[in-house]
Structure 1
Amino acid sequence: MINQQQTVLIWCMCLCLLLQACVPSPPVNQTQNPLITVPKTYPEYSRQSPRLSDSSKTQQSNSTADKNWQDFFTDKHLNTLIKTALEHNQELKILEQEIQIANNDIIARQGKYYPKLRGGFSYQVEKFGEFTSEGAGDAATEFLPVPTVPTVLHNHQAGLLTTWEIDIWKKLRNATRSAYYRYLASIEVKKFMVTHLVAEIATTYYELIALDNQLQIVTQFIHTLKRAQEVANIQKSSARTTSLAVKRFEAEVFKNQSRIYKIKQEIIIHENKLNALVGRFPQQVTRSPKQLDELIPKEFKTGVPFRLLENRPDVKRSSLELMASKIDIEVAKARFLPSLGIEAGTGYEAFSGQYFITPESIFYNMAANVTLPLLNRQAIKAAYFTANNKQIQSIYNYNLTVLNAYKEVANQLATINNLNKTYQLRLKQVKVLTESVDIANMLFQAARVDYLESLLTQRDLLEAQIELVEIKRDQFTAYIALYKALGGGWRDNARVNC
């Protein structure tokens, strides 16, 4: 009969283990690796622009996106601003603390799969009533080296206690690996922030130079108007024109003088923006005195989409988060399986300090326990399903990140191509209008044309010159945005072994 009961008990235990092995299977989402679907080359825009080249037939190391910002930006004043920003920008300091927090999480998870050792000391006073089973038993017990157990019992205890959860299913180690991948992802977040910060500083810097150029153009235009106004005064004195011409030129001077203050205000706003990005209070920003059209970007090699998109920090971050979500599924799955723990302790325990540190007062214990969930497993089921859903979410996020990365590159290639064509046409327009202004001034001085034709021609030249500077500014902005879209100079040198 006893053997039969033991057999039934063993079969029940085996059945429980079998039930635990049956982990529920959520629906599997078959998603192709998004990098495989990326086109092999970028759109034809890179071949149509004279300053863009397709380096798909060259090695990745030859692409411009592999250059760090020190090599890509050659302006010494701009490089000084970027270096200062990387040292003092407050948002980067916050991200550095996020990285440290992620690293601390790894340390905490690593400590879970090592034995824990605690030490302690306790003192307890206890007295049982004489008419209780404990009190009567103690009074009748002979206890060497004293005749009887003391009525008031003083218990002294000191010792060590260790607990250890044996990671037989790699649940704890997988949790550490997941934390490690998220730590690497936090590093990519900082890289992504650095890329955006460098691009924003460079864009604002060239916008500031463009405003300086516009200020020079308007100032020169005012001088030209004043000379035309002097000519109109001379012609008025000789009755070759009326006072209307003088007043129109004078009004145009006042109009553009007010425009100067508007440009100066924009300069102050951009300087303050740069100072805020750098992490300092408002002050004058040292910048290049050159004209914007003298700062010609070097030849830009776009490289291969499959490789360059992997160098983007946001793509690498999404990839690392996807890897972490896959490991989280294994961690959640291990919660359905039995867990094995070991507890042990040793030390000294005695009712009197006189006998505390003696061989007879030594105690020790050791126990092993196996626990597994049997009933009401809804919580761990929900956690397992959530881990699967987060993995699918990470896949979609990875797809979206790669798609947006390729889209950004394609958009900037088209922008650069169209801006280059626009700039060439505007340059021809400025050249023609400059010749027209010279002709109009000569004819106006000879009183062969009305003042209005001279004024309108000069005004058209001013607007064309302003627009030419804006187009050149937009070209620099597009090149910077393309550099950022291609990865911003970050190479895939992070180690992911754990």
Structure 2
Amino acid sequence: MKNLLVVINITLCILISGCKSTDPGSGFSKRIPSSYLGEKDSLNAAKINWREYFNNPILTDLIDTALNQNFDVLKSFQRIEASRAGVRASIGALLPTVSGFGSVAQRRYGLYTMDGAGNISTYINPDEIVPINLRDYYTGLQTSWEIDIWGKLRNRKKSAVARFFGSIEAKNLIVTNIIADVANHYYQLQALDNKLEILRENIKLQENALLIVQTQKEAGITNELAVKQLEGQVLNSKNLEKETLQEILETENRINFLLGRFPQSVRRDKDQYKDSLNFIVNVGAPADLLGNRPDIRQSEFQLKAAKADVKAAQAAFYPSLNLTGAYGYQAYKTGVLFRSPESIAYTIFGGLTAPLLNRSQIKAEFQNANAAQTEALYNYQQSVINGHIEVYNELAKLKRLQEIHDLRTRESQALSESVDISTELFKSGRANYLEVIISQQKSLDAQLLLVEARKRQNITKTNIYKALGGGWR
């Protein structure tokens, strides 16, 4: 026993010398800012349920359908089940394996051998000599067990558990993205509906102006050039109408794809789109991102898994202790196979194995695990910075877009009044047709830009909720 311990100690000294791990740290190496844009907020919109955050029954119904039918969400649940199976497998590796077995064999010893010379005159029972062609029937149970001395199997289990929780966070990330995508496409669809309505209203105004010019031409007040100019303006607006109808169709089908269904009309409320958009989003503290954003939480679990992988790879350098055994019945013929205790057979074996000649392969696997651990740390730090920047940008954009929306509203009102004024002046002959065309075109552009400003506000409201890590709860 003393000699065995000496051998083990010498072997460990040789092996440990080649397996030093690099510890990249366990947390975030940079100091996280205390606030966004210098504003401190104790509340956080990410903790609000998405049904309350969007507060639109039609939109929430669409999101509900997407969460139940979207293929990316459904696939993420299967990846969770695969990770769960990995956890069960790692737990099973810690336990002994027991299996039933049975074998049938026949042996013949050479007569001019030690076995043959000994068996030819040996009685297997009082009345029968060992036959030259000896059959062997064996049935019973066998077991094997690797005793986890150095924690290799336990660390593999920790890695599997961390990856299981990481797969849950991956599903949460998909859920957050799906909610944001459905909401943003819904807002885009509402914007296109309003754009189409504005175009059709302007087409009516342009057609009325064209009718006036045609009447004036017939009366000799104006010429063919004015008619063609206004006619071209009407055709251009009708062309925009057709393009908008195609955009509406494609946007509807993008929503249908997210909802996991074939093309069909998407229910929406275009009037609600014109409601006031003065809203404030509570963003909380930047440190809240560590617990709210699924991508950060996923990268954190991946880092934990990578650290456990390093420890498991490090333990591969050490000797492993394996116990094996078998218990059953063995005989040379079936008639006496289950005779007890004469036919009972068992074996017990304990073995200590240590890698010597293949250390380069084990060392390469250890270095690979070390590099993966460092990469996982960088991914974690990168996800934290990326999350902070996303919230920072969306918060700044939200404030700018409110100012832009207010200015676009005033611009649209002013230019809409200019259309009425130029039309009245044109009817009385105090303005020419070019002034009518220009005022109508500017008013149309202003109205479309106002719709675009509203859409950008809604999308930013969704994006900041997503950036904060909302939606998956």
Q: TM-score range by the shorter chain?
A: over 0.9
Alignment of 1:405-420 (within 5 A): 405-420=387-402
Contact between 2:175 and 2:472, CA under 8 Å: does it hold in 1?
no
1:248 aligns with 2:242: no
Deviation at 1:326, TM superposition (A): 1.2
| TM-superposition CA deviations, 1:427-476 (whole Å, max 9, x none) | 11111112212211111111111121122111110111011111111111
Contact between 2:173 and 2:472, CA under 8 Å: does it hold in 1?
no
Indicate how the Cα distance of structure 1 residues 306 and 226 shifts in structure 2: closer, same or farther if over 3 A, else same: same
How many pairs are equivalent?
472
Q: Distance in 2 between matches of 1:175 and 1:33?
A: 21
Q: Distance in 1 between matches of 2:85 and 2:6?
A: 45
**Could you say which residue in structure 1 is the equivalent of 2:310?**
329
**Could you say which residue in structure 2 is the equivalent of 1:443?**
425
Q: Distance in 2 between matches of 1:267 and 1:13?
A: 74
Judge which range, 461-470 or 386-395, deviates more. 386-395
**Could you say which residue in structure 1 is the equivalent of 2:213?**
232
Deviation at 1:291, TM superposition (A): 5.3
Of 350, 362, 367 in structure 1, the residue corresponding to residue 349 of structure 2 is 367
Q: Distance in 2 between matches of 1:286 and 1:37?
A: 47
Q: Distance in 1 between matches of 2:9 and 2:385?
A: 50
Gaps of 5+ in 2: none
Q: Distance in 2 between matches of 1:318 and 1:376?
A: 33
Q: Distance in 2 between matches of 1:473 and 1:79?
A: 18
Deviation at 1:32, TM superposition (A): 7.8
**Could you say which residue in structure 2 is the equivalent of 1:462?**
444
1:43 aligns with 2:37: yes
Contact between 1:161 and 1:344, CA under 8 Å: does it hold in 2?
yes
1:33 aligns with 2:27: yes
Q: Classify the secondary structure of the residue corresponding to 1:317.
A: helix
Indicate how the Cα distance of structure 1 residues 464 and 13 shifts in structure 2: closer, same or farther if over 3 A, else same: closer
Q: Classify the secondary structure of the residue corresponding to 1:43.
A: coil
**Could you say which residue in structure 2 is the equivalent of 1:472?**
454
Gaps of 5+ in 1: 1-5, 45-53, 492-498
**Could you say which residue in structure 1 is the equivalent of 2:329?**
348
Of 206, 216, 220 in structure 1, the residue corresponding to residue 197 of structure 2 is 216
Deviation at 1:256, TM superposition (A): 1.2
**Could you say which residue in structure 2 is the equivalent of 1:495?**
none
Judge which range, 423-432 or 237-246, deviates more. 237-246
**Could you say which residue in structure 1 is the equivalent of 2:9?**
14
Contact between 1:309 and 1:405, CA under 8 Å: does it hold in 2?
no
Indicate how the Cα distance of structure 1 residues 472 and 131 shifts in structure 2: closer, same or farther if over 3 A, else same: same
Of 153, 162, 169 in structure 2, the residue corresponding to residue 181 of structure 1 is 162
Q: Distance in 2 between matches of 1:408 and 1:308?
A: 11
The one-letter amino acid of 2:397's match is T
Q: Distance in 2 between matches of 1:100 and 1:249?
A: 64
Q: Distance in 2 between matches of 1:17 and 1:8?
A: 14
Q: Classify the secondary structure of the residue corresponding to 1:180.
A: helix
Deviation at 1:202, TM superposition (A): 0.9
Deviation at 1:14, TM superposition (A): 3.4
Indicate how the Cα distance of structure 1 residues 27 and 175 shifts in structure 2: closer, same or farther if over 3 A, else same: closer
| TM-superposition CA deviations, 1:385-426 (whole Å, max 9, x none) | 222211111111111111111111111122222222111111
**Could you say which residue in structure 1 is the equivalent of 2:45?**
64
TM-score when scaled to structure 2? Answer: 0.94
Q: Distance in 2 between matches of 1:190 and 1:277?
A: 15
Deviation at 1:322, TM superposition (A): 0.7
**Could you say which residue in structure 2 is the equivalent of 1:50?**
none
| TM-superposition CA deviations, 1:250-272 (whole Å, max 9, x none) | 22222212221111111111111
Q: Classify the secondary structure of the residue corresponding to 1:484.
A: helix
Deviation at 1:91, TM superposition (A): 1.9
Of 154, 161, 164 in structure 1, the residue corresponding to residue 135 of structure 2 is 154
Q: Distance in 2 between matches of 1:125 and 1:25?
A: 52
Alignment of 1:292-303 (within 5 A): 292-294=273-275, 296=277, 298-303=279-284
Deviation at 1:95, TM superposition (A): 1.9
Identity of aligned residues (%): 36
Deviation at 1:57, TM superposition (A): 4.5
| TM-superposition CA deviations, 1:236-295 (whole Å, max 9, x none) | 444433343333222222221222111111111111111111111111111113152316
Q: Distance in 2 between matches of 1:8 and 1:175?
A: 32
Of 383, 388, 407 in structure 2, the residue corresponding to residue 425 of structure 1 is 407
Deviation at 1:214, TM superposition (A): 0.7
Q: Distance in 2 between matches of 1:10 and 1:108?
A: 33
Q: Distance in 2 between matches of 1:162 and 1:10?
A: 26
Q: Distance in 2 between matches of 1:321 and 1:420?
A: 39
